[in-house]
Amino acid sequence: MLGSEMIRSVVFSIVLCAAMARAGVKSGHAEAELLSASDGYSAGQPVQLALKLKLDRGWHSYWLNPGDSGAPVSIDWTLPDGWVAGPLLYPVPQRFSTAGMVGYGYDDEVIMPVFLTPAEDASGEVKVRAAIDWLTCDPSACVPGEAELTLDLKDGVGDPTPEAKDIEKAYRTVPQPVDGATLQVEPGEKTLTLTITLPDDVDGEGAELIAATPNVLATQERVILGPSEEGSWKAIVPKNEYAKKTIDELEVLLTGGKLEAPLMLSWIMEN
């Protein structure tokens, strides 16, 4: 029989190995970790993963529209044959202002969900790999970071992981499209007139509008929706100084105010 000291040693080794498997990779001023809501997968059924960035105090990373400077997180997957990765999903960002430049992103910690869809004939334990690049900045400098992350998933419906609730909480803060919501854009010489229509049961009053498409709207002034005018909201917003001469698409985030959840609205110019 094993002695008590040997048993404690074996248990410690198991716990240590598990902790090492979950440990993130530190680079620059952030630590990156690949999480999963489940420890298993089913063929053809989406499985929810997430990228977690834990940032050093005083440093921030960036949203998909970084603002006046910065860069969003990029992720390059190496997946088993037939697997497909969806886009990285960004929660509602914070607004930063440094030396007159406005940025959108995250401090402290951010969890960005992503869905992987296994092949219809997927089977056996698999390993997914992700090459991550990001940029972190503080008021005086910007430092890039990178990490090669891996995650093992077993075949079959798995059990929820300890991180599942955190991933779900982050997913609820990801802006989503809403049926019946529309965005119309009328380009002017130096401004864009935005008209937003929402379903009757969605009230946009007090919501902040932020461009998710980079280099379209000016960032200096916040855009807050006032009371609706017959079910719609109109905002005249200066163009970004780097905006293209012809603006043919725009995606915007609505968050806060009387909204129960953040929304994402899209517009594409008709030919």
DSSP 93-149: PEEEEETTEEEEEEESEEEEEEEEE--TT--S-EEEEEEEEEEEE-SS-EEEEEEEE
| Residue 4 located in a structural domain | no
Residues 164 and 48 grouped into a single domain? yes
Average pLDDT over residues 10-34: 66
Write down which residue in 171, 201, 221 finishes a domain: 171
**Domain membership flag for residue 9:** no
112 and 29 housed in the same domain: yes
Q: Is residue 7 part of a domain?
A: no
41 and 142: one domain? yes
Predicted TM-score of the model (pTM) = 0.89
**Among the listed residues 102, 254, 90, 126, the one whose alpha carbon sits nearest the alpha carbon of residue 178:** 254
5: pLDDT confidence band, cut at 50, 70 and 90? low
Its domain, for residue 98, covers 20-171
Mean pLDDT of 185-208: 96
CATH number at residue 43: 2.60.40.1250
78 and 125 in a common domain? yes
Q: Are residues 127 and 251 in the same domain?
A: no
Judge if 148 and 211 occupy the same domain: no
Residue 100's pLDDT band (boundaries 50, 70, 90)?
confident
Token pair listed for 99 = 């030396």
Do residues 32 and 121 both lie within one domain?
A: yes
Q: How many domains does the chain have?
A: 2
Predicted confidence at residue 22, as pLDDT, reads 52
pLDDT of 17 above 60: no
Domain end call among 152, 171, 190: 171
Q: Is the pLDDT of residue 190 over 50?
A: yes
DSSP code at position 14: H
Q: What is the pLDDT, as a whole number, of residue 227?
A: 94
Mean pLDDT of the 238-251 span? 95
Shared-domain flag, residues 162 and 66: yes
156 and 200: one domain?
no
